[in-house]
Every structure is written in C-alpha cells, then in structure tokens.
Structure 1
Amino acid sequence: MQSNAILLFSYGTLQDTSVQIETFGRELTGYDDQLLGYKLAKIAIQDQKVVALSREAYHPIAVVSQSERISGKVFEISAEELAQSDQYEVADYQRVLGKMASGTPAWAYVAA
C-alpha cells in the first residue's frame, strides 16, 4: 500500500469497471473485505446522471445493523479520487470511516 493511499470500501456500483473509469479515469484494484455493523437495503436514485452511468435506478445502501456485515471490496485511491467519489455519491449517502473485518479501517458510503 502506498503511504499516501486512502482506502475506500465499495459494496455497490463503484465496483463496476465502467463506473470506475468514468469517475476516476482508471480501473481500480482492490481486495475483498467486509464492512461490520451494517446491512444492505435498496434506495431509488433520483440523480439521472448517476442512473445513466450505473445503468441502475436502485442502488444498494448500507444501514446500521448491530450484528450484520456487508461484503465488498477495498480500493486504494488518492485524495483527489476520494473527492471524485464524493461527487459521484448522491445526498442519500454519507461517507464514514468504517470498521472492516480485516481490521484496517476504510471509508464507506452509508445511509445519511
């Protein structure tokens, strides 16, 4: 891991190669992990740019759950790319530093 790398956990559309290329200008590499203390729900996306990019009108969203966990991928990104992912995510999501099964914290977008 690069010393300036930021870890971002994705359980949804940011795992899609076409979304990564459109959002970050490159395909991300990552590893499997799990976000602890959350479960998946679905949310209707109102932002038509996001729907067009992801090709999905309903996206998964992480909601607090004491005993559950969400599987996904942790990606190494830059501070600039983290700002780009903030732009991609709609207002229904907020970025939090999540507890991961691996023990290494990573940023994750969860229900606002």
Structure 2
Amino acid sequence: MAKLFAYGTLKDIDTQQTIFGRILKGEPDVLKGFTISEIKIEEEFGIAKYPILEESEDPKDVVSGILFEITEEDINLADTYEGLHYKRIEVTLQSKENAWAYIVTN
C-alpha cells in the first residue's frame, strides 16, 4: 500500500469516484514547509485554476490536507490525473507519516 497526501481536487469525492472508482478513506494531516498557490491550466473549454504545492522551506508554513492509504495502481491513476504540470514527491507529514504529494513542476 502507498500513502497519498491530498490538499486539492483529490480530496473531492466526485473526483475520487471518477479517478479511482471509489471514495477514499483518509485522516486529516498537515504538511509543514509548503504553501499552496494557484496554477492555470489550459483545458478543452478554457483556462482552469487549480491549487498546487510549492516548497517554502519555512516550517511555519503549513498545508492542511488528508492522508489516504491507496494502492500502487491508484498512484498510477493519480499520476495520470495530475498530468504534466504536477510532479510527485515523497514528503513527511506532521504525523511523521511518509506520503506522496504533488507539487509544481519546474
């Protein structure tokens, strides 16, 4: 099993149902040293805005989200969903759990 820290659209149950075919179960958690900004992505019907993690290196900066336990197949599905504008990195959360999270691609 893998762990995924979700802070944006992956927390949404409709998005989860579409991507994973089910609603994920998770627990609230916090990621220190990151902030959330906004990314604009051109889609079929125009420009859409999405949240995106950026490393701040300031431990006072925190992002609240949900920690999900998912399968390796789910990780691949999430990678496809997030696309080219996001990259997956391993982070350590306030709970001391290690998890995957998606940040801005530079």
TM over 0.5: yes
Secondary structure in structure 1 of the residue aligned to 2:14: helix
Deviation at 1:92, TM superposition (A): 1.4
Paired positions, count: 103
User: Where does residue 102 of structure 1 map in the other structure?
Assistant: 95
Within the candidate set 8, 17, 21, 2:17 is matched to: 21
Q: C-alpha separation between the residues in 2 aligned to 1:12 and 1:78? A: 19
TM-score scaled by length of structure 1: 0.86
1:70 to 60, 63, 66: 63
Relative to its length, the structure with more strand (as a share) is 2
- The aligned runs of 1:1-112 (5 Å cut-off) are 5-48=1-44, 57-67=48-58, 68-112=61-105
How far apart are the structure 1 equivalents of 2:32 and 2:83? 22
Contact 1:42 1:60 in 2 (8 A): yes
Identity of matched residues, %: 37
Assess if the C-alpha contact under 8 Å between 1:9 and 1:107 holds in 2: yes
TM-score (norm 2): 0.90
Where does structure 1 differ by over 6 angstroms across 4 or more consecutive aligned residues?
none
Structure 1 residue ranges without an equivalent (≥5) = none
